[in-house]
A and B are shown apart, each in its own frame.
Chain A
C-alpha cells in the first residue's frame, strides 16, 4: 500500500515535471536557443520576451472565423513555468519525506540535492542543454530573504543576545580568517605548482576564498534542526551562519572591487577604504534593519482594524528592509536579520494571537518552500557540461583548506572566548561547531555572479563551489548525526515549563544583579538589567500597545500557558469520554481554569439551586450561596449507586446546559467577508453576557470580601437540616443528585434505559446528595478571607465534583498530573482531602456525624 502511494507520487512528480520540461522545449523552440531561462525566472527578466512572443504568436494572425479555444501558451509562459517548478520542487520534498527510515539516515537537504541531480539529468536528456539553473538574482532577491526572515523572526532572542559576543567573533573574525587563509593558501599552492597552469591571480584567489568562507544558514538549519544539539551550540552555529553571510557578501564585494581595480592600483588608501567600507556596510545594514524593526513595531500598534492583512506587513516590510539595504549597497542579509530579531518581541505582543500564528506559519511555509527549491536547484544546476572545468588539484585543495581552516579558526577563537566565558564551550562542542561549517547556496550564488570577463576561470570556481557544497551538505550532513551521537554532544534538554523554574529564574537574576552591585562591578547582569529598565521605560512605550505592555510578564505568561495546556488536556479528556460531563469535574481543573468556569457558571448555578431549595424547604429566602454550599456534601460515595445514574445524569446535564447556558441569539449568518472571518457577534449579546457575568461576580465578590462567607450562613440552618435528617434522606442510597456525579458514570454501562425512565423524574424531586463527609469540614470551617471570590465560587462548583474515591477511580482522570490536583484552599482543607482519600473504606459517614447533617 505504501509502495503504491509512493509510486503514484513519483508518477505524479514525473508528470508535472515532464510538463515543465515540455513547456521548456516549447519555449526553447520559440525563443532563440541559448537563452537561459531559469526556472524561477524573474518576471522582470522574461516578460519582455514573452510579451513579444505572445503578440507574435496570435495577436497578428488574421482570424477568419471565431475561434472557440486558442492555445495561448506564451501568455502564461513565465508564471506557468515558475509555478510548475515550485510544484515540482515541493513534490520532491514530498517524495523525500515519504520514508522516514531514509530521512533518519540521510539529511533531507542531501536527498533533495540528489533528486535535483535526477531532474537535471532528465532536463539535460530532453534538451541537450541545461535550460534551468539557479540564477543568482532569483536566489538573492526571491529565495534567500524568506529564509533569513523566518530564521531571524523565530530566533530565540534571549539566547541570541546573551551569546551575541561569541557569535559576532565567529561571524566576523572567523569569516575573515576563513576567507583570507583559504585564499592565500590556495594561491601559495598555485604558485607552488599544485594546480598546473591557471589564469588566476592572488586577488582572484582571495575573492574565491571570500565567497567560500560563509557558513550557509540554509544548510545549517536543515542539518542542525534534525540533530537537536544543545541550545548554546545551536545558537552559536546558527547565529554565526546568519551573520557571516552578511560579512561574506561584504568581503566578496570588497575583493570584487579590488579585482576590478587590478593589482597595481591597490595602495594603502584603497585597503583602508576597503576596511572602512566593510564596517559601514555591515553596521549600516544592521542599523537599517533595526530602523525597519522599529517601523514594523510601530505599525503593528495601529493595525487592529485590518487584522487580516496585519501579518503581511511584517513580510512586506521585512522584504523592503532587505531591498533597501541592497539599494544602499549595505548588507541586505544583516539588515533583514536584525529586522526580524528586533521586532519579534513587539509585534508578537502587538498583534492579535491569530495574526502571530498566521505570520509564523506563513513564514515557515515560505522559508521551507524556498529552502526546498534551493536544494533541488543546487542539484539541478550541476548537470551542465559547460560549467565543469576539472582541476583536481584546485578542487581537492579547496576542499581540504575549507575544512582545515574552519577547524583551526573555530578552535582558536573558542580558546580565546573561553578565557572569559562563564560557561566554557567544551571541545566536543567546538568540534561540532567546526564540523557544522556547511557551505551552501550563498557560496554558489556568489560564485555564479562572478564576472567572466574579470575572472577567466569562473567556471572552475563555480564547479569547485558546487563540489564543496555537495561535500559539506551531503557528506558532512549525513555524518553529522552519527557523529553527534558518537561524541555524546549534549543534546537540547527537554525542560518542561514550570512556574517554579520561571519564578526562580527571575529570582536568580535579581540575586545576581544584587551581588554585582554589592561587588561594585558592572557585569553581564548589570547590562541586562539596565537594558531591561530602558526597554520597559522607553522602548516598550514607543513600540508596544498599551494593553500589550501589561501582559508581557514572562512569569504570568508561563502561568497562562500552563493553564491553557490544562484546559486543552481537559477538553481532550472530556471529548474522549464523549460528553460534556468533564466540565463538572472542577477538582481537576487548574486554578485559573476553574475561575473561568466558575464565572461562566456562576449565573446558572444559583438558579438551579434556588429551584431546588424551593422544592425542598418551601422557602425562597434561603441565601442562594448557602444552598449552593449545601450541595457540596451531596456527592455520593456509593459506587454501586453511581453505576445506575449514568445515563440520566447525562440527560440532565444536557437539560441543565440547555436551560441555563446563554443562548446565542444571532446565529451565524452565512455571510462572506473578505476582511473578516469572525462569527457574527451581536454587541448586545456580548453586553448581556458581560453584565450577567459581572453581576454574579460582583455578588460573590461582595460575599467573599465582606467576610460573609457563605459557609457561615450555612451554619444558620443546621436545625432545618436536622429536621430533614430524620427523613433519612441523606442516607437514602437511592436518592439521586440533580446533577452531580456525572463524571464517573459514563464508564458504567449498567445504567439501563429503563432506569433512565425511572430516574429522570426523580431528579426533579428535591435531590440532596449523599454526604461526602470529606467535604463537610471544609465547608464549615473555611471562611478563608483571602479566598478570592472565584474560589468561593469554586466551592459551589464542587457540588458537582465526584467524591474523592470516585475520582481516584476514574480511568481517564489525569490524576498523575500534579498541576491538576485538587486545589487546596487552606491547610485545613488539605487535611480533609487527605481524609477523603482515605475514606475509600466506607467508614466515612460516622466520622463526623454532626457535620454530616449540614445538607439540604
Chain B
C-alpha cells in the first residue's frame, strides 16, 4: 500500500483526476506506468511519434485518427491528465455508483462516448461528417474488399440514412439519432477499465 501511495503522490492533482474520470487508484497507477513506458524519453508528455511506436496501432486502419484524438487542436503534446481523460471515455458505466444530481456529466457518459467517435470522422471539426470525410473512413476500414464505386454508393447511402435535414452531411445530432438503438455503453467500453 505504501508503494501505491508513493506512486500516486508523484502524480500532481491526482485527486482531481480521479474525481473527474472515476478511475480507481489502481487504474491510475496502471495507466501511469503505461504512460511512462510510452514516454521513453521521460519528458512528461507524449508526442504523436510516441503513439506511432506502438506496433499494433500502426496496423489499425483508423489508428492515425485515434492518435489524433488524443491531441487537442493546435497542440503537439499530451500530458498524463489529458491522456487519462481520453481513456476515461472507455470506462464502463457503473450503475451501482450513486449519482449525484448536481455533478457534471461524467466523461464516460453515452453522449461523450459518441462525441469521441464522432470526432474521429469529423476531421475538419466543422461539426459535420461530410461525404468526403465518411468516404475516407470507409476506405480505410473496408480496404481492398470493395471497389471505389461500391464505396461511394455505401457512403451515399449511409449519409442518406442518417441525414435528416438533407444537407448531405451528418451532424452530431443526426449521428446520435442514427445510433439510438445501439448500446453504446457496451460497445464503447473496455472491460479492464472497470
Contacts and interface: CB of A to CB of B under 8 A. Distances in A.
Interface of A: 420-423, 493, 495-496, 498-501, 503-508, 510-521, 523-526, 533, 550-553, 555-556, 559, 562, 590-592, 595, 786, 788, 790, 818-819, 821, 823-824, 826-827, 830, 833-834
Contacts of B149: 788, 790
B179 to A, nearest CB: 6
A824 B179 contact: no
Contact of B153 (A513, A517, A595): A595
B166 interface: yes
B158 A592 contact: no
Contacts of B146: 553, 556
Contacts of B187: 505, 508, 512
Interface of B: 30-31, 34, 37-38, 51, 54, 56-57, 59-63, 66, 87, 90, 92, 116-117, 120-121, 137-138, 141-142, 145-146, 149-150, 152-154, 156-158, 160-162, 166-168, 175, 178-179, 181-182, 186-194
A789 to B, nearest CB: 8
A512 B90 CA distance: 8
Nearest to B189: A422
Contact of B56 (A422, A507, A513, A834): A513
B60 A519 contact: no
Contacts of A551: 145
Contact of A423 (B145, B156, B186): B186
A166 B105 CA distance: 33
Given A508-B117, A559-B157, A834-B166, A521 B56 contact: no
A496 B161 CA distance: 12
Contacts of B193: 519
Given A590-B157, A818-B161, 19 more contacts: A422-B186, A422-B194, A495-B181, A495-B182, A496-B181, A498-B178, A510-B61, A511-B116, A513-B56, A514-B57, A514-B63, A514-B66, A515-B90, A550-B145, A553-B146, A556-B145, A788-B149, A790-B149, A830-B167
A818 B160 contact: yes
29 contacts: A422-B194, A498-B161, A500-B175, A500-B178, A500-B179, A501-B179, A503-B158, A507-B117, A507-B121, A510-B60, A510-B61, A513-B56, A514-B66, A515-B190, A518-B34, A523-B190, A523-B191, A553-B146, A555-B142, A556-B142, A556-B154, A559-B154, A559-B157, A562-B157, A592-B153, A790-B149, A818-B160, A827-B168, A830-B167
Contacts of A786: 152
Contacts of A788: 149, 152-153
Contacts of A526: 56
B178 to A, nearest CB: 4
Contacts of A523: 190-192
B65 to A, nearest CB: 9
A511 B141 CA distance: 12
B40 to A, nearest CB: 13
A496 B194 CA distance: 30
B123 to A, nearest CB: 13
A517 B90 CA distance: 13
A273 to B, nearest CB: 38
B51 A499 contact: no
Contacts of A517: 54, 56-57, 60
B56 A500 contact: no
Contacts of B192: 519, 521, 523
Contacts of B54: 517-518
A778 to B, nearest CB: 14
B87 A515 contact: yes
A553 B160 contact: no
B12 to A, nearest CB: 21
Nearest to A550: B145
Nearest to B46: A518
A548 B182 CA distance: 29
A511 B188 contact: yes
Contacts of A525: 190
A218 to B, nearest CB: 31
B158 A499 contact: yes
A500 B158 contact: yes
Contacts of B62: 507, 510-511, 514
A833 B189 CA distance: 41
Contacts of B37: 520
Contacts of B181: 493, 495-496, 501
A507 B34 CA distance: 24
Contacts of B154: 499, 555-556, 559
Contacts of A519: 30-31, 34, 87, 190, 192-193
Given A508-B187, A514-B63, A830 B166 contact: yes
Contacts of A518: 34, 38, 51, 54, 57, 87
B157 A819 contact: yes
Contacts of B168: 824, 826-827, 830
Contacts of B120: 507, 511
Contact of B160 (A514, A819, A826): A819
A154 to B, nearest CB: 24
Contacts of B61: 510
A520 B121 CA distance: 25
Contacts of A590: 157
A597 to B, nearest CB: 14
A375 to B, nearest CB: 36
B156 A823 contact: yes
Contacts of A511: 62, 66, 116-117, 120, 188
Contacts of B188: 508, 511-512
A514 B158 contact: no
Given A510-B61, A827-B168, A504 B145 contact: no
Which 5 residue pairs spanning A and B have beta carbons closest together? A500-B178, A514-B66, A422-B191, A517-B56, A499-B158
A513 B60 contact: yes
Contacts of B142: 553, 555-556
Instruction: Report which residue of B116, B145, B153, B166 has the largest number of chain A beta carbons within 10 angstroms of its beta carbon.
Output: B153
Nearest to A820: B160
A420 B191 CA distance: 8
B169 to A, nearest CB: 9
Contacts of B153: 559, 591-592, 595, 788
Given A506-B141, A818-B161, A514 B189 contact: no
Contacts of B161: 498-500, 818-819
A323 to B, nearest CB: 39
A644 to B, nearest CB: 33
B117 to A, nearest CB: 6
Contacts of A495: 181-182
Nearest to A419: B194
B32 to A, nearest CB: 11
Nearest to B162: A500
A516 B167 CA distance: 36
Q: Among the interface residues A500, A508, A523, A824, which one has the most CB atoms of the partner chain B within 10 A?
A: A500
B117 A520 contact: no
Nearest to B169: A827
A554 to B, nearest CB: 10
A820 to B, nearest CB: 9
Contacts of B90: 512, 515
User: Which residue among A518, A520, A550, A553 has the maximum number of chain B CB atoms within 10 Å of its CB?
Assistant: A518
Contacts of A498: 161, 178
